[in-house]
Amino acid sequence: MGSPLQFWENLAPYLSRIEDNFLDLESINKLKSIINDPVLIIGAGQGLLVESLQQCGYKVDGIDNNAQMIEYAERRRGIKLIQEDATKLSFDDNSYRTIIIATGVIDYIDDSQLIEKILNEAVRVTTDDGRILVAFYRMHPASEAFQKCAGILTDDGKFRHQYAFGLMRGKPSDMIKTIKKDTNMGLLSIILHLIKIQILVPKKERDVSKTFNEMFKVMDDPNKFIESCPDSIPYRTLPSIHKLFEQFGFSISNTHVYDLCTVAEIDNSSIH
């Protein structure tokens, strides 16, 4: 089984190819009307969103628990992020009016206790009139339907990370052969699903597999990278996102659904 920390460390040299995905620049621009200074971004990666908000005049700090990401943020953007564990923030109580928990943090975690620690720390450092925004990666329904039939999305809400990357690494014809071998899907069914994806799914989402495929070609050891991935990560739809927060006693005041992510806004009255 892969390690999340090792996965992000192995991905760091190639992140520039895929970092503007899921909670991306387009999504953060749409959220600006509800973002207030000062801002803390948890899971800041190499500073893409930090840089974007700073350029718009926001006072923003970014944290990541991966030293490689911190180094690349400074090297690529001249941004000084803070290396922090999101379960043990060093900031004072009530330090920020907006907390943004990026994709790749809570949405990748299947450990309820760990999620609760992250949320409690976010609550602690948020002002009483502040907002906590938690981002979850999402797929178009046509992609979901195909990936469920192909065994990439499981019935119990898991995305088979390693298996998916293995499919992305090969040619489209190799992917079709593997899915046909591993499932009950016939060739015609697979092709019809792929045609629907080409017609219905936003181009940016369609390009994710292509981008990873190109990334694997320039990696020193793509097998090592794939092996470092978690076997699976959660895939949470709107109902399961609501259920996740309810188990911790938090309610959601609003959800912002974009092409590549869902952003849940925690109701302040439920946390302060």
Nearest-5° angle of CA 165, CA 170, CA 171? Answer: 135
3-class state of residue 38 by DSSP:
coil
Give the 3-state secondary structure of residue 36. coil
Q: CB–CB of 7/230 below 8 Å?
A: yes
Euclidean distance between CA atoms 83 and 68, whole angstroms = 10
3-state secondary structure 193-260: HHHHHHHHCCHHHHHHHHHHHHHHHHCCCHHHHHHHCCCCEECCCHHHHHHHHHCCCCCEEEEEECCC
**Residue length, the chain?**
272
The residues facing 210 across adjacent strands are: none
pLDDT exceeds 70 at position 269:
no
Contacts of 266 (CB under 8 A, 6+ apart): 119, 131, 132, 133, 134, 245, 250, 251, 252, 253
| DSSP code for 153 | B
**CB distance 81 to 72 below 8 Å:** no
What's residue 219's pLDDT? 92
The amino acid present at 243, given as its one-letter code, is K
Q: What's the pLDDT at 5?
A: 77
In whole angstroms, give the CA distance from residue 182 to residue 232: 17
% of the chain beyond a pLDDT of 90: 92
Provide the CA 144 distance to its chain's centre, in angstroms: 16
pLDDT at 255 over 90: yes
**SS3 assignment, position 33:** helix
- pTM for the predicted model, two decimal places: 0.95
pLDDT single digits (tens) 137-189: 999 999 999 999 999 999 999 999 999 999 999 899 999 999 999 998 999 99
- Residue 92 β-bridge partners: none
Whether pLDDT at 2 is above 90: no
Work out the number of other CB atoms within 10 angstroms of the CB of residue 142: 18
- List % helix, strand, coil for the chain (3-state, nearest 5): 50, 15, 35
Domains of the chain, CATH where assigned = 4-138+237-270 (3.40.50.150), 141-233 (no CATH)
pLDDT for residue 4: 73
- Whether the per-residue pLDDT at 63 is higher than 90: the answer is yes
Q: How confident is the model at residue 211 (pLDDT cuts 50, 70, 90)?
A: very high
Instruction: Report pLDDT for 272.
Output: 55
- Contact between 45 and 259 under an 8 Å Cβ cutoff? The reply is no
Q: Which residue has the tokens 């298996």?
A: 163
Reported for 70-75, long-range contacts at CB under 8 A and 24+ positions apart, including other chains, are 72/12, 72/13, 72/15, 72/46, 73/44, 73/45, 73/46, 73/47
